[in-house]
Structure 1
Amino acid sequence: MDDSTESSLLVLEAFFGGSHKHLLDLTLPILPEKSYYLLTLPATKWHWRSRCSALYFSQRIPRNRKFKKLFLTSCTNLAELIGLRTDLASCEKILYFHENQLVYPRKAEKDRDYQHCHNEIVSALAADKLIFNSMYNQSTFLNNCEQILNKVPNTEFQPIRLQIESKCRVLPVPIDFDKIPKLSKKMNDDKDALHIVWPHRWEHDKNPDLFRDIILELDGKNCDFRLSVLGEKTLTVPESISEICSKIGHKLLHAGFLESKEEYFQTLAESDIVLSTSIHEFQGLAVMEAILMGCFPLCPNRLVYPEYLPEKCLYSTTAQAVKFLTNACRSANSFRKRSFNIDLSHYSLKKLSKEYVQLLE
């Protein structure tokens, strides 16, 4: 946090971890020195951060400063914050969406917490600029905001999309290519098994059940492969992950979060295929990092993935994913020699830094 009275940009992050932290770690250092004032909350208890961060920040933002811009993510209710701190109303208010809750997958619609959806909608109305990390994120938000409000009983709202669409733009979370290590790809011989990596949080929205189904069906075909199950664990390990560990533990090379970034990248460099089974993904930094480390991506033909992956990398059914992996396992050496070119250069920090400076300076 910059204590200088010269700060003209106020930055708030209610969930300072993952892609949220990644974005600020890359973009704030490229801004002029002493140009921002940063307040954060730890990346825990997301639901409480969403409900209460506006009150928390309202009590900690200095009152003796006049900020010109306010940059925050949709985890904080912007409308509530401005109501509590009316002195911030004159700021240019920039709201960044790493994800949106309007399409968060639920087993049943009755399980959806509409308060989080409402918070994002009123925040969008209160903001001057809305920034989304992908076109998929933007379109799903715009396409669903009125549908969500239509569920409010005995209430009719004016059209919301028309009020916010002109404020929207897409600006991805950048990747610093200079920090991606130049590790040589492991050249295996014919006897080396295919190495599959699943680099996601062990949570519902990353669909560990589908991951289990694909991997156990692949194992049932007597395919030789090795598996790394990375990503952050939750307090309760999903039953599907436990099932993988118990049934094919002899094929597991890693199971759990790798604290060392060097070890993480080394594991990616030694892997052949990065597998995603997500049902909630708006950019996919973990998949992008794996691609940059030489992994072939095998991802669902939905969500954000079709924005930057060719058709050959996408599957629509479990059977398609299993068939692709089966063929790759049975001719692992030939698979490793195949070339694939996925251009992620438009996500590089060098390409995006100018736009972020213009946005935040």
Structure 2
Amino acid sequence: MVRIDLISPYHGGSHKAWAEGWQHSSRHNITLHTLPDRFWKWRMHGGAITLARRFLAQKSQPDVILATDMLDLTTFLALSRKQTAHVPTAVYMHENQLTYPLPQDGRTGPMRRQLGERDHHYAFINVASMLAADRVFFNSNYHLESFFAALPKFLKHFPEYNELNAIDILSQKSELLPVGVQFGPLANSSVEPTQNRVPLILWNQRWEYDKNPEAFFAALYTVAEAGHPFELALCGQQYGKRPSVFKEAIEKLDSRIVHVGHADFATYRKLLWQADLTISTAHHEFFGISILEAIHCQTFPLLPNRLSYPELLPREFHDACLYDTQEALIAKLTWALTHRDEVQNMAGALATAVSKFSWQRMSPIYDQVMLNLCQNK
């Protein structure tokens, strides 16, 4: 058994689900060192100091340290070097601060204080942490490739000694390690598998600009004006003030809406099983846990043919589920709303296909990767 200390400074949402899902399913002994998921910039600065202090206070010594991308690993290792100098380390890239999309208006989202400009310091924390680690894991191939495509331009931005050789060094130590998903708690224990009176469309993503809710609601307005009946459930995590696009949509689609707001787990599970369709119009997705949760519960997905989404679905489902333009989304949505039996049958097959992402399947892979890291140090 390997003793793993998992360092998660921004412990919430997908980061928390990933860490706790692996901890519960692993054959190894995993200790979580966490801080709440707020003040993300301060977490990337001060989180390493706080968590290094806590790490040094514990009595046990890990065999492996695995940090998320929100940790300044260089600072953490410097402050704990008496105990960590010979411990193999890895970084898990849920996301990164180099290719995370910026809002168009410069007033929305995490970069608003830079008026829409990217703060290179946080991207450099990612790069330095990756250089300090023995291995780097990306949650999707899209994430890995997009990061390394952007890295040369980022390093060339600096005036001299821009360390372009770091690209090859990082590439050689980086690999794909998809997220595991806890499908077990979503088991259908109380929802009757009956067809809804009209199709239910589910939004279960974050209520933020990078998920592009404008395009989602634009598609719904079009099919509504065409006379196609549907109902709508709007759940998903919200941060602060509700975006105005949701307020407008709730007013326009009021008679069709069956749920609004972040759902507790029991309600969320019920909505997943009741929903016929889930749609993503995202500008940004490095993996897609919420989409996989919906697919597991036999909800048919309509997803953009880009980002990480093509990796989630077997190729035989791409034609039915992936779209390239807004017009194609509307056409596929119209088809799905009017061919409910075909959609239901395909959703059942997809649920089986995505089971490869369950922690039951992924945990042995993670466990072996960590064992290899210990043995090869």
Range moving further from structure 2, 78-87 or 298-307: 78-87
Contact 2:207 2:236 in 1 (8 A): yes
Q: Partners of 1:338 and 1:185 in 2: how far apart?
A: 16
Q: Report the residue type matching 1:355 in the other structure.
A: I
Is residue 2:20 matched to residue 1:15?
A: no
Distance 1:144 1:344, change over 3 A: same
Which residue pairs with 1:59 in the alignment? 53
Is residue 2:286 matched to residue 1:290?
A: no
Which residue pairs with 1:3 in the alignment? none
Is residue 2:68 matched to residue 1:68?
A: no
Distance 1:333 1:32, change over 3 A: closer
Considering fraction of residues, name the structure with more helix.
2
How far apart are residue 359 of structure 1 and its match? 3.3
Q: Partners of 1:157 and 1:49 in 2: how far apart?
A: 26
Contact 1:201 1:232 in 2 (8 A): yes
Is residue 2:277 matched to residue 1:273?
A: yes
- Residue pairs, 1:154-173, within 5 angstroms: 154-173=160-179
Distance 1:26 1:338, change over 3 A: closer
- Residue pairs, 1:113-262, within 5 angstroms: 113-182=119-188, 186-188=193-195, 192-259=197-264, 261-262=265-266
Q: Partners of 1:107 and 1:30 in 2: how far apart?
A: 37
Q: Report the residue type matching 2:246 in the other structure.
A: I
How far apart are residue 194 of structure 1 and its match? 1.4
Select 2:39's aligned residue among 23, 45, 54. Answer: 45
How far apart are residue 65 of structure 1 and its match? 4.9
Runs (4 or more) in structure 1 with deviation over 6 Å come to none
Distance 1:139 1:62, change over 3 A: same
How far apart are residue 338 of structure 1 and its match? 4.2
What runs of 5+ residues in structure 1 fail to find an aligned partner?
A: 1-5
How far apart are residue 155 of structure 1 and its match? 4.8
TM-score (norm 2): 0.86
Contact 2:202 2:275 in 1 (8 A): yes
Which residue pairs with 1:98 in the alignment? 94
Contact 2:233 2:260 in 1 (8 A): yes
TM-score (norm 1): 0.90
- SS for the counterpart of 2:9 is strand
Q: Report the residue type matching 1:208 in the other structure.
A: P
Q: Kindly tell me the number of residue pairs found equivalent between the two proteins.
A: 351
How far apart are residue 31 of structure 1 and its match? 4.3
Which residue pairs with 1:264 in the alignment? 268
Q: CA RMSD in A?
A: 2.3
How far apart are residue 332 of structure 1 and its match? 5.2
How far apart are residue 107 of structure 1 and its match? 3.6
Is residue 2:346 matched to residue 1:346?
A: no
Contact 2:67 2:91 in 1 (8 A): yes
Contact 1:194 1:332 in 2 (8 A): no
Distance 1:279 1:89, change over 3 A: farther
Deviations 1:224-279 (A, max 9, x none): 110011101221111111110111111111111111x2221111111111111111
Distance 1:265 1:130, change over 3 A: same
Distance 1:66 1:162, change over 3 A: same
Q: Report the residue type matching 2:231 in the other structure.
A: R
How far apart are residue 36 of structure 1 and its match? 4.0
How far apart are residue 336 of structure 1 and its match? 4.5
Range moving further from structure 2, 232-241 or 8-17: 8-17
Is residue 2:330 matched to residue 1:322?
A: yes
Q: Report the residue type matching 1:38 in the other structure.
A: L
How far apart are residue 217 of structure 1 and its match? 2.3
